[in-house]
Amino acid sequence: MRIGLLTEGGYPYVGGDTGLWCDRLVRGLGQHEFDVYALKSGRQQEDDGWVPIPPQVRRVRTAGLWTAGGDGAPLGRRARRRFTEHYGELLGAVCGLGEDSAAELADRFGNALYNLAELARDSGTLTGALRSDHSVTALERACRAPGAPRAAHEARVPDLLAVTDHLARALGPLSLDWYGENALAAVDLCHATSGGPTALPGLLARHFAGVPLLVTEYGVQLRAHYLALGPDSAAPAVRSLLAAFHGRLAAEVYRRAEILTPGSSHARRWQERCGADRARIRTVHPGMDADRFAEVGEAPDRADAGTLVWVGRIEPGRDLVSLLHAFAEVRKEEPHARLRIVGVPVGAEGEAYLAQCRALAAQLFPDEAEGLHAVGDNPVSFTEVGAPEAPTLPDAYAAGAVVVLSSVVEGFPVSLAEAMFCGRATVSTDVGAVVEVIGGTGLVVPPRNPRALAEACVALLRDPERRARLGAAARARALELFGVEQNITAFHGIYLEIMSHCPVRRVAVDEAGEPLPFADPAESHVPGHWTVPTLLRGSPEPVRAGAEGAR
């Protein structure tokens, strides 16, 4: 089977969010062929390079959302008229203009999207048109129309320019040359590793060539956009318009995908709220490499009995401020307790947040010294994986008796699952898929509640037998649910399930000219409708069936 793997900001680039599990999936399914179509999230990715590519990856094609399709020649008069019509229709669906029902608005959005894709194919690119004055004018017209959201009515020129720029990036895949017979039209199945713009090439391959689409979401893309558009990051008009656009796009992806594979029940509920058909959803937990944590998991005695450990990417959503205040309460009960924060900041916002946390730690915990002539030491340390204190990620988890997760925002908590592989007792906040992942093998407290977090940490620090029981149970649960083998087996079955239900689009042959298995079933040769004589006695007449029914 030939799979078109669609990624954004991840595989095959080093350090991408989806890089690890995509690499494991591709290597684990060596019986299939993969074509990787990667959308770059930033120019820095090219400098960082790619991970080693296995032989089953036949080709890799990349494109930046900010340069998709290039600038292109200006549209002619007729093409510009088509663009104005279809783009205006898309914006009207985003703003909910007219008296259409929700289903009718979804149809309008989808039709406008595919009409724009066909225009891009005919014209070569829409990059210039999407950033032109015509697109800004069309957006202003939709915002000022009766029935538009109140926030959209108040949109100013900077708001219109910001939304236009964002839509141009999100719709960049419309202008890519990925949909011909030598590209996505030649694959058997498109597998998008995320929703939103990542899945847009899959939608277009389905529209142009009938290629079935599978969408995997370990972190719901729509939820990520909602969080990114917080009250401090954008004007009300920008938040309203972009939230509506991404909601429409997510609904179209969920409606057209053959199967959706969320990574948790938390992600599944988001998909269902956006209109996904429950019958087409299969929960598949992320496949994680348990072997790298085996040494730590099998030797729990390495832990420092008085140390708490936090591991992850440093950003405001991880709420390290609450963790530091909770640790101040822990120190009142356990004066010799220590806290290790192991992680790297994410972007400029993360750098600023790390500086804030360092200042708070210095304020809450002045350097302590045992005597008059000793050098002071702070009970809170900040470090990164690779430093002498934490040479590897397993060493970071091995340093503490209890692993803490203090987030207020979380999708699938990867660090929590890693701590479970290491056999560590955990204290977590009840956000995202935490309860589903932990499954009763750790303590869970409400978010933004330092006192509850402190009480749970103290309870585990004082009870080594309980820590050992919870750590062993957590490791057993992680090995059962979150291993690479389970993930690969699940996707192999889903690939075959999709292909068994999708009509044959072409005759596929191997290098010797022989038909490939499952690609050319016998019933595809039978034209039109045909009659199947019944083999059951007592049936008064034959059963009518077509090629699809025969299958």
pLDDT value of position 506: 60
Residues forming beta bridges with residue 308, ordered by sequence position: 339, 402
First to last CA, the chain: 19
Over residues 448-491, the pLDDT tens digits come to 999 999 999 999 999 999 999 999 999 999 999 999 999 999 99
Q: Which two tokens stand for residue 184?
A: 């996505």
pTM: predicted TM-score of the whole model, two decimal places: 0.83
pLDDT value of position 420: 96
Over residues 335-391, the pLDDT tens digits come to 999 999 999 998 888 999 999 999 999 999 987 655 555 555 789 999 999 888 889
Residue 397 to residue 323: CA distance in whole angstroms: 17
Query: Quick check: 297 and 423 in contact, CB under 8 A?
Result: yes
**What order of strands is seen across the sheet that includes strand 259-262?**
57-64, 33-40, 2-8, 189-192, 213-217, 259-262
Q: Which H helix or E strand runs over 383?
A: strand 380-383
pLDDT value of position 539: 46
Comparing C-alpha atoms, which of 409, 467, 454, 461 is closest to residue 434?
A: 409
pLDDT value of position 347: 82
Residue 193 to residue 190: CA distance in whole angstroms: 10
Residue 279 to residue 257: CA distance in whole angstroms: 12
β-strand 213-217 against 189-192: which pairing, if any? parallel
Got the DSSP string for 429-466? Answer: ES-TTHHHHHTTSSEEE-TT-HHHHHHHHHHHHT-HHH
| Position 183, amino acid | A
Pick out the chain residues at pLDDT < 50: 522-551
Query: Quick check: 112 and 163 in contact, CB under 8 A?
Result: no
Give the count of beta carbons closer than 10 Å to the beta carbon of residue 446: 10
Q: Which two tokens stand for residue 311?
A: 């591991």
Residue 106 to residue 96: CA distance in whole angstroms: 10
